[in-house]
């Protein structure tokens, strides 16, 4: 029988058609800087991503930006999420590897008999096949392990998303309060300049001694120094906010940032320590990631236990032995004589115990962190409330000085001094309010849950869904 060589090559061509091909993707470090400098908050891809998060955006978006919109932009630009997205793709590719069945193999062993009888075909042609069969549910155990590893990476993505949100919020708070502090120091400088002008006129009229004028001049120089120092601090805080967003500083100068009401803080009565602890234990992504790691450790233990049972290899074959047709029915299996996979089983058991101890340690850390953050927030909240009372009292003093000046009972210097004291108290109130906001951020980090306007915040769960779908 004549066989066309082209037809014989068809099965090989079909096998090669399903193979993957290599395509090079070299990296060019020098090209990164121009690309980074071109980043913008008003890029169409960024604004579309922010809009897809279903946030309460400003009316003039993308010209105006609030904190939730900036967090979503940080999710778009920060490389940590892109790295975890690639890691998630690796873990999901592991699902394909875990679900693959072992390929059968084929062998061809021709032999030539030199002293074969006359008239007998000297060739001995042997064909053998090997069909491996996995036993004890190994494939299911591998798939369970791969799924748990994927889930662990998914929660790591959520953890990274919350970390980015926390860093952006802290930089946002620092930048806002730095700007407000600069406004107060400029006001203090104007008041000190007016105070110095009044005292200089009185000194020139011989109504006060020089030490009083010198003290006013020193206070003015200190206010100028504080204002200059604060201007430098504003630039630093703006650069920190840009770094938290993975943007050049110029990208923040091209938009307008909208500040919320910072004194709108949740009261202590609205939150209870018991509820906060439950939220922390049930909501934190790192807790869920370690729980998924424990599930992976259990799946690995099941896999190692399954590997103590040998696989079966079926080896049917055919042999053409000098004109005689011979069919072979082979069977083979490893003999678990010298070991029964006890070493990997012991390691898997130890890994499962280690995962359990890590989970218990993290739970204790979460509870302690929640308690400390709650106590810090309560202390900062009380200080903020007390500073409000002092400000209200000093505003009444300023109003009294202003009324006395209008009635001719008080001097302009009394009014300036009352306003100076008000500015100093406002600086203290600003520090107390900033501490309260930072303490609130620490409490939210302990819970990984927004407490101020929670419905207006970006949702890491929606981000997880988008990243998971994109990685498939």
Distance of CA 218 to the CA centre of its chain: 48
The partner residues of 282 in beta bridges, in order of sequence, read: none
Instruction: Quick: pLDDT tens for 372-386.
Output: 999 998 898 888 888
Once rounded to an integer, what is the mean pLDDT over residues 389-414? 83
Res. 458 pLDDT band, cuts 50 70 90 = low
pTM for the predicted model, two decimal places: 0.81
Helix axes 285-306, 138-204, angle to 10 degrees: 160
Q: Could you tell me the residue ranges of all domains in the chain?
A: 40-77, 78-456
DSSP states of 366-423 as a string?
A: HHHHHHHHHHHHHHHHHHHHHHHHHHHHHHHHHHHHHHHHHHTSS-HHHHHHHHHHHH
Q: Is the pLDDT of residue 1 over 50?
A: no
Inter-residue contact 341 to 307 (CB < 8 Å): yes
**Nearest in space to 197 (alpha carbons), one of 222, 223, 216:** 216
User: How big is the chain, counted in residues?
Assistant: 472
Q: Would you identify the CATH topology of the domain 78-456?
A: Outer membrane efflux proteins (OEP) (1.20.1600)
- Alpha carbon distance 422, 172 (integer Å): 26
Average pLDDT, the chain: 84
Q: What is the pLDDT of residues 319-363, one digit of tens each?
A: 777 677 878 887 888 778 788 888 989 999 999 999 999 999 999
For 390, other C-beta atoms within 10 Å of its C-beta total 16
The pLDDT tens digits of the residues spanning 51-76 come to 888 888 888 898 999 998 999 999 99
| Element spanning 460, H or E | helix 460-471
Select from 157, 168, 156, 159 the least CA-distant residue to 69: 168
Q: How far are the Cα atoms of 127, 137, 320, 371 from residue 329, in angstroms, in the given order?
A: 12, 25, 15, 70
> How far is Cα 109 from Cα 107, in angstroms, rounded to an integer?
7
- State how far the Cα of 124 lies from the Cα of 320, in Å rounded to an integer: 6
Instruction: Give the CA count within 13 Å in the CB-facing half-sphere of 61.
Output: 19
């Amino acid at each position: 029988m004549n066989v066309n060589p082209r037809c014989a090559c068809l099965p090989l061509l079909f096998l090669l058609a399903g193979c993957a091909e290599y395509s090079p993707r070299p990296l060019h470090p020098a090209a990164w800087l121009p690309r980074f400098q071109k980043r913008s908050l008003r890029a169409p891809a960024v604004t579309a991503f922010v809009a897809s998060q279903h946030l309460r955006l400003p009316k003039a978006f993308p010209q105006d930006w609030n904190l939730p919109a900036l967090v979503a932009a940080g999710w778009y630009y920060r490389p940590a999420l892109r790295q975890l997205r690639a890691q998630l793709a690796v873990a999901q590719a592991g699902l394909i590897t875990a679900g693959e069945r072992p390929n059968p193999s084929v062998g061809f062993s021709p032999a030539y008999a030199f002293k074969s009888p006359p008239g007998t075909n000297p060739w001995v042609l042997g064909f053998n096949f090997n069909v491996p069969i996995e036993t004890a549910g190994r494939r299911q155990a591998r798939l369970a392990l791969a799924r748990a590893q994927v889930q662990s990476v998914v929660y790591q993505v959520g953890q990274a998303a919350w970390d980015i949100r926390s860093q952006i919020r802290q930089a946002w708070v620092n930048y806002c309060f730095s700007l407000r502090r600069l406004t107060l120091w400029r006001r203090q400088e104007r008041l000190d300049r007016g105070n110095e002008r009044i005292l200089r006129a009185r000194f020139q009229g011989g109504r006060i001694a020089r030490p009083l004028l010198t003290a006013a001049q020193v206070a003015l120089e200190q206010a100028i120094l504080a204002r200059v120092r604060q201007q430098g601090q504003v630039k630093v805080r703006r650069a920190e906010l840009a770094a938290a967003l993975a943007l050049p500083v110029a990208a923040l100068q091209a938009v307008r940032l909208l500040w919320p009401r910072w004194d709108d803080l949740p009261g202590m009565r609205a939150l209870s320590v018991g509820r906060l602890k439950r939220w922390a234990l049930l909501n934190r992504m790192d807790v869920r990631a370690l729980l998924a790691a424990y599930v992976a450790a259990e799946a690995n233990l099941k896999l190692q236990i399954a590997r103590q049972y040998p696989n079966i290899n079926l080896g049917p074959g055919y042999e053409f032995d000098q004109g005689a047709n011979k069919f072979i029915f082979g069977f083979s299996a490893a003999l678990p004589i010298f070991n029964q996979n006890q070493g990997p089983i012991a390691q898997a058991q130890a890994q499962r115990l280690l995962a359990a101890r890590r989970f218990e340690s993290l739970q204790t850390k979460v509870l302690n962190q929640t308690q400390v953050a709650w106590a810090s927030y309560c202390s900062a909240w009380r200080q903020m409330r007390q500073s409000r009372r002092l400000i209200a009292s000093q505003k009444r003093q300023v109003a009294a000085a202003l009324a006395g000046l209008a009635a001719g009972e008080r001097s302009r210097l009394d009014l300036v001094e009352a306003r100076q004291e008000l500015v100093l108290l406002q600086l203290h109130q600003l520090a107390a309010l900033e501490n309260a906001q930072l303490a609130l951020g620490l409490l939210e980090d302990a819970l990984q849950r927004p407490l101020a306007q929670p419905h207006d915040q970006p949702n890491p769960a929606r981000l997880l869904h988008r990243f998971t779908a994109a990685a498939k």
